[in-house]
Amino acid sequence: MRILAIETSCDETGVAVVDDGRRIISNVVASQLAHQETGGIVPEVAAREHLRTLDAIAQTALRDAGIELRGVDAIAATVGPGLVGCLLVGANYGRGLALAAGLPFVGVNHLEGHVYANWLYEGEAAPPEPAIPAIVLVVSGAHSDLVLMEGHRRFRALGRTIDDAAGEAFDKVARLLGLGFPGGPLIEQAAKNGDPSAFPLPRGSGGDRYDFSFSGLKTAVMRLVRSLEAKGEVPVADVAASFQKAITEMLAEKTARAAAEHAVDTVLLGGGVAANLALREEIAKRIGHPLVVPPPRLCTDNGAMIGAAAFFVLRHRGTEIPTAVRSDLKLA
């Protein structure tokens, strides 16, 4: 089953064609560059850009796949969570396409997309599917969710952030250090030349619960940078490395504990922050389970992950297939 899938929940316009929820036939992602200039995402600007580019990107995805709309079996689009003005563009374009072409339309939860990015592959040979049950950590600029995946589309929330998302903490620290936007890759780059033990930063325990809190760490970094500035030049690489060490340890500790306390086969990662190599290493060394992480370009938002999730929605549907846009959708 071939699905044409659309992702417009934030600042990436993505369209992909995915076969049977796993094989990527084409995957086109256009990152909106306007937000780099403004140092953050302006929702109205993002929505305008999605509307301007989506049809052309969908055409490119079909062309790359070497098929026409007739060769597609279903249309999928992200219906939440995300910026509502952005979601409406992708969802309504997708519904229009589906109705006109006589195809079913599948509304997809963006977070399920990040989970099912772990099922995707390119090329001919299919790697084995990730084993479930699994512990899943979805970390991005908008989300930090720790979830028990009991089976396909059966998720139980263990913990989530009580303040900032992990990716937001990266963005804010990057801005503080004058590195730019988005913060994740820029911090990771800067940290390569730094000493992660240069500055002690609080990990915050949050007790034995699985919820995350990054505001204490963020404040500590802010104080540290201010006091370093007062003394002279800020050693950007050392601060970046120390911050990265602290935040990856916080994420890895709870993920590893969740994996130890539940009978699972695998640990899965997803979301833009999962592209961070230090996070992968930190989690891998703490767990006794296989760690599955999508390649970096499938960690960040893209259409292929929506195509994967849509396939599993159709295969494991409970009742009705969702179509309505809900900006506050949750994974569980």
38 in Cβ contact with 171 (< 8 Å): no
Residue 100: exposure state from Cβ atoms within 10 A (0-12, 13-18, ≥19): exposed
Q: Nearest distance from residue 32's CB to another protein, in Å?
A: 13
- The least CB distance from residue 92 to another protein, in Å, is 4
| Nearest-approach distance from CB 290 to another protein, in angstroms | 32
By beta-carbon proximity to Zn ion, the closer residue of 89 and 221 is 89
- Select from Zn ion, another protein, none the partner in contact with residue 51, using the beta carbon and a kind-dependent cut-off of 5 to 8 Å: another protein
Q: Which is nearer to another protein, 119 or 214 (CB)?
A: 214
Cis omega before residue 185 (within 30°)? Answer: no
The residue to which tokens 């040979």 are assigned = 125
Q: How far apart are CA 80 and CA 63, in angstroms?
A: 27
Among 1, 55, 127, 290, binds another protein (CB under 8 A): 55
Alpha-carbon radius of gyration of the chain: 20
- Between residues 93 and 312, which has the closer beta carbon with respect to another protein? 93
The span from the CA of 4 to the CA of 18, in Å, is 7
In the list 52, 209, 285, 297, the residue contacting another protein (rule: CB under 8 A) is 52
Task: Work out what residue 132 binds among another protein, Zn ion, none; the CB cut-off runs from 5 to 8 Å by kind.
Answer: none
Site for another protein contains 97 (CB under 8 A)? yes
Residue 301 interacts, among another protein, Zn ion, none and using kind-specific CB cut-offs from 5 to 8 Å, with Zn ion
Q: What is the DSSP string of 113-171?
A: HHHHGGG-B-SSSPPPPPPSSEEEEEESSS-EEEEEEEETTEEEEEEEBSSS-HHHHHH
Q: Which stretch binds another protein (CB under 8 A): 206-214, 254-262, 285-293, 318-326?
A: 318-326
- Which of 30, 64, 73, 85 binds another protein (CB under 8 A)? It is 85
Interface stretch with Zn ion, choices 45-53, 284-292, 293-301, 307-315 (CB under 5 A): 293-301
- Rounded Cα distance between 58 and 71, Å, is 14
* Cβ neighbours for 281, distance < 8 A, ≥ 6 positions apart: none
CB atoms within 10 A of CB 96: 12
Q: In whole angstroms, what is the distance from residue 84 CA to residue 92 CA? A: 12
Which residue in 7, 11, 164, 301 binds Zn ion (CB under 5 A)?
Answer: 301
Residue 272 sits in the site that holds another protein (CB under 8 A): no
- Site for another protein contains 291 (CB under 8 A): no
Choose which of 2, 31, 43, 64 interacts with another protein (CB under 8 A): 43
Cα pseudo-dihedral 272, 274, 276, 282, rounded to 10: 160
Residues forming contacts to another protein in the complex (CB under 8 A) are 10, 34-35, 37-45, 47-48, 51-56, 58-59, 69, 82-85, 88-102, 141-142, 165, 168, 171-172, 175, 181, 323-325, 327
Residues forming contacts to Zn ion in the complex (CB under 5 A) are 140, 301
